[in-house]
Amino acid sequence: MRYLKRHIIFVAFALLTMAHPLLSQDVPKEFINPPREFSVMPFWFWNDTLKDEEIVRQIAGFEAHGVYGFVIHPRIGLPENMTWLSDEMIHVMKIAITEAAKRNMSVVLYDEGMYPSGSSSGQVVARNPKHAARGLAKIDLGPKEEPDLSGDRKLVAIITRPGGERMAVIDQPSGGKIRGLHYFGEGSSTLSEESPPAADILNPAAVESFIDLVYEKYYSEFGKFFGSTIKGIFTDEPNPLGRDAGKQMRPGNLEILPKINRIVGYDMKPYLADLWYSDSPEAVRHLADYYRAANICLEENYYKLLGDWCKNHGVVLMGHPAGSMDMGTERFFGVPGQDLVWRYVEPGPKSLEGEHSTMAKCASGVMEHLGLRRNSNELYGAYGHNLTFDEMQWLANWCFVRGQNMLFPHAFYYSIRGPRFDERPPDVGPHSAWWDKYKSYADACSRLSWINTDSRQICSVAILADATWLPDKPAKACFQHQYDFNYLEIRHLTENAITDEKGVHIAGMDYGAIIIDSLSSIPEYALKYLKILAKNGRLIINAKSEFASSLKGAIIYDTPGTMIAAIEKIVRPDLRLTPASENIRYRHVVKGNDHFYLLFNEGETEVKTQLRIPVEGTRQFLDPATAEAYNISPDDEITFKPHELKIMRINKTFKLPPL
């Protein structure tokens, strides 16, 4: 009898772990039907003559395809009689917001008449011409020549370069513009775009004017929806110089130079030539220091003002900075974000190499270390009409496996008439070839967003970063060897982190291994914390780093392989593949009683492997598109098709059904 019972239990377990769909009650109900807050939030290009009934019709179509929110984005192509935040524009915005409220959908407001943000479609400069964008320019001088300071030009410095050449650095208007809302000459061979003047967003007074013109206007018109239907306000790649300012212009002005000096710890004025030339001994360092400090000035003079305003009015600041590595500026966002545009990332080398390969981990790291719920990516912009449905899914999964949990697809077009069809294409929504099957994509994105929200990431490795630099080479090695990591901005060491003999502890994360690869400088305040890590064998540092010799006890590496070997000596592996594969990316989070592993084959070839995971419990694969569940055994060989993402759920409380 005892043998029979044991045999029955074995057979039941074997049947249970066979790869077949399980009943829906075995799957978390919020995975099957995620709350609407986890919907994709597409940019909705308002780019033609807007009609109330058409706005309502398109919103109904969004909802029918699993899209429960949108960003209202006034876009080039609007009729000339509809100007930025005019009564006519406010009216149609009110129609869309009211309709969204009726349908329990969410709205994000866009803060500019096109982009980059900060100018209120030229209204900031129209109100005060002194608030036009400024920057630094250089003038090469003869031996006794004096710079021309006519017009609104201010002398910053006259510098003699290493070869004896003289030059002047001038603070002057940049001449930068932003993109506008109107085509001129549509239907003719002389088509052009409106280009309003850019504002000086390094000037707090200009930024306060921008807030008054846009943010206060939104609140006065739609305040009753703030915090309910209206979740946030989107600011888009602010640029201190504006667009088309000229290759010789650099961000900055006389007023911020004292702050730049305080940030870098030395007088930058004698080294300003290094913003244009690389013939001085430390030109690379000076250039990196200047841009890092200028970005911190932008944080305080622009992003902080907008972020504080949003907090005080019941919404969050959303959007993204101009640079894929601009981590510092993201600390003032309620939802830090990034931008996948112009085919920055594609299957192949660009998914792991270069500045843009860091962007998803940039935003998700800020979320983790500031204790925020969400981080985002605006993706697909200008990927071209050749973007495929498979590539669209691949890019979304590239974001999710790196910890992102809110997607802003770029874009759903109100109209594709005339030049609108080719304006930063493609339409990835109603005018696309895949609109009939869009709901499966939207549902999958909602489920993956739900998994990555209000969950605890399991991760023991951090790569040290600064405000504008995220090393990509150690990240590539970690990805290829299934060591998940986060970028940790160095300022956190003195702000909200605890450093001890076991590593760095911040916002619920415990990093046992810290990597320094290619930072141009390390602030004096950070050295004492890094020495603690080095002394206790927690610091792994590139042999080429100028700081390697001063951090006694640090583990020195000179190749990706020796870096991975150093990590393996410090932290316990969370996933092992047998056989190994460099194509599989993963993310491990804990949500309630469930462990979720996102497993993504980023490569172009099939992968067959066994998953060695140090978590016990019943294992299931959850289909992100259908929510179906399939039980698997720890010893099963798993096949990943090219570009396939699998969700593994390990439930520690799951019980065998009664016999």
Interval 524-556: pLDDT, tens = 889 999 999 999 999 999 999 988 888 999 999
- Secondary structure (3-state) at 289: helix
Q: How far apart are CA 2 and CA 14, in angstroms?
A: 18
The confidence band for 519, taking pLDDT boundaries of 50, 70 and 90, is confident
Spatial separation of the C-alpha atoms in residues 631 and 618, rounded to whole Å: 8
Residue 411 lies in a domain: no
Range 379-392 average pLDDT: 98
Percent of the chain with pLDDT over 90: 90
Say if 359 falls within a structural domain. no
Is residue 512 one of the residues assigned to a domain? yes
Give the integer Cα–Cα distance in Å for 251 and 200.
10
Q: What is the pLDDT of residues 468-481, one digit of tens each?
A: 999 999 999 999 99
Angle between helices 283-298 and 257-264 (to 10 degrees): 120
Q: At what angle do helices 52-64 and 87-102 cross, to 10 degrees?
A: 30
Among 243, 375, 394, 388, which residue's Cα sits nearest to residue 319?
A: 375
Residue 423 in domain = no
Q: Which residue has the higher pLDDT, 655 or 291?
A: 291
User: What is the reported pLDDT for 90?
Assistant: 98
At residue 118's C-alpha, the angle toward residues 112 and 119, to 5°, is: 75
pLDDT of residue 12: 45
State the pLDDT at residue 546.
86
Give 46's pLDDT tier (boundaries 50, 70, 90).
Answer: very high
pLDDT at 434 over 80: yes
Average pLDDT (448-463) is 98
Given pLDDT bands bounded at 50, 70 and 90, which one contains residue 653? low
Give backbone dihedrals phi and psi of 293, rounded to 5 degrees, phi first: -70, -40
* 494 and 469 co-located in one domain: yes
Q: How do residues 73-95 score in pLDDT, each as one tens digit?
A: 999 999 999 999 999 999 999 99
pLDDT at 6: 44
Span 278-326, pLDDT tens digits: 999 999 999 999 999 999 999 999 999 999 999 999 999 999 999 999 9
Maximum average pLDDT range among 200-204, 277-281, 615-619? 200-204
pLDDT tens digit sequence for 551-593: 999 999 999 999 999 999 999 999 999 999 999 999 999 999 9
What average pLDDT does the structure give for the chain? 94
Shared domain check, 581 and 563: no
Specify the DSSP class assigned to residue 510: E
The domain tally of the chain equals: 2
Which of 520, 538, 567 lies at the terminal end of a domain, its last residue? 567
Do 509 and 535 belong to one domain?
A: yes
In the chain, the amino acid numbered 454 is D
**Percent helix, strand and coil across the chain, each rounded to 5?**
35, 25, 40
Residues 557 and 589 in one domain: no
Where does a domain end: 567, 595, 611?
A: 567
Task: Identify the residue with better confidence: 252 or 518.
Answer: 252
pLDDT, mean of residues 434-462: 98
For residues 77-90, one letter each, b for 16 or more C-beta atoms within 10 angstroms of the residue's C-beta and e for the rest, the string is: bbeeebbbbeeebe
The model's pLDDT over 493-502, given as tens digits with 9 standing for 90+, comes to: 999 999 999 9
Residues 478, 502: one domain? yes
Domain termination site, one of 502, 537, 567: 567
> Does 429 have pLDDT greater than 60?
yes
Question: Does any domain span residue 552?
Answer: yes
The count of other CB atoms within 10 Å of the CB of residue 63 is 18
DSSP assignment of 546-587 equals: TTGGGSTTPEEESSHHHHHHHHHHHS--S-EEES--SSEEEE
- Quote the domain boundaries for residue 525: 458-567
* pLDDT score recorded for residue 26: 81
Residues 539 and 585 in one domain: no
